[in-house]
Amino acid sequence: MSHNNILTVGLAQFAPVWLNKNATLQKAAETIREAAQNKCELVVFGEGFVPGYPHWLANTSASEWNSPVQKELHAHYARNAVQIESGDLDDICSLAKSLNIAVYLGIIERAADRGGHSLYCSLVYIDQSGTIQSVHRKLQPTYDERMTWSPGDGHGLRVHQLKSFTVGGLNCWENWMPLPRAALYGMGENLHVAVWPGSVHNTKDITRFIARESRSFVISVSSLMRKQDFPDDTPNLTEILKKAPDVLANGGSCIAGPDGSWIIEPVADKEGLITGTIDFNRIYEERQNFDPSGHYSRPDVTRLTINRERQSTIDIED
């Protein structure tokens, strides 16, 4: 059996140091080191892990117009968002290179190429040489997320070679969108990464569904968030905690095989690194009877067009 066919992966099911970019990046670095010590070749973090999911939206009046509470929280979020162009991920990239480990990291991105003020829920892939190979901005923020995140574009709809595997990823409810999934399938994806803010109710069904639909391995990774995970220096903390449940996100990280069977069932209410090993040959076995972009496709009847241009309001010609 080829060494390239076996991949050890780490699912980083942790709570962020909520809305603290530097401290959460440090926590991510510690987890990457732990993953490398456990012989992982890929480690995945949840949606928006740095600096955290906007849990205040569901627990305050997020849509209240001109609200001082919402403005203060949004500004705090923006100050702690990641700006890749300013080098915020340089240390993580250097660490990935030194440990020869690939990383999928969920971030809240304050994108310089869109003016540097609006926020995007982005999934960053860093390869084993420490190079950022893609930054996928969530195409459609969900429900109250639209009060703080901007819609992304197709630039980050890309796949990457990792040993024998072709890996791609989507953020949270993007995984319910048939066409972005089909785009990744068409690029040859056979290891799908789905990142979530947390909770078994998100991962228990769709992880297996995508695996069966695509005949691929699917890794779902979620964060944790409990009342005690809100830092004392959070703006308007008392207002947030009035309606917040004791557990806002209970994890649910898991791995499904290409036939939809569990390799690791959803893990709830447990913080830590979850590791698993997958065998590429299982993909060939399950593609024998169904391959959504190969022998079981009809491109003469239906075909998908993908726009991967990074969107901007300006086109500068010097």
DSSP 82: B
Strand partners, 160: 167
Q: What is the dihedral of CA 86, 88, 91, 92, to 10 degrees?
A: -130
> Is 109 strand, coil or helix?
strand
DSSP letter, residue 144: G
Helix (H) or strand (E) holding 106: strand 102-110
Residues contacting 166, CB < 8 A, separation 6+:
159, 160, 187, 188, 189, 190, 191
Strands 132-137 and 160-162: unpaired
Beta bridge partners of 45: 12
Q: Give the residue carrying structure tokens 């994890």.
A: 251
One of 138, 163, 174, 286 is an active-site residue; which one?
138
Q: CA torsion sign, 94 to 97 to 100 to 103?
A: positive
One of 21, 40, 47, 254 is an active-site residue; which one?
47
- Give Cβ neighbours of residue 283 (< 8 Å, ≥ 6 apart): 190, 215, 216, 217, 258
Annotated catalytic, 27? no
34: annotated active-site residue: no
Identify whether 138 is a catalytic site residue: yes
Q: Could you list the active site residues? A: 47, 138, 172
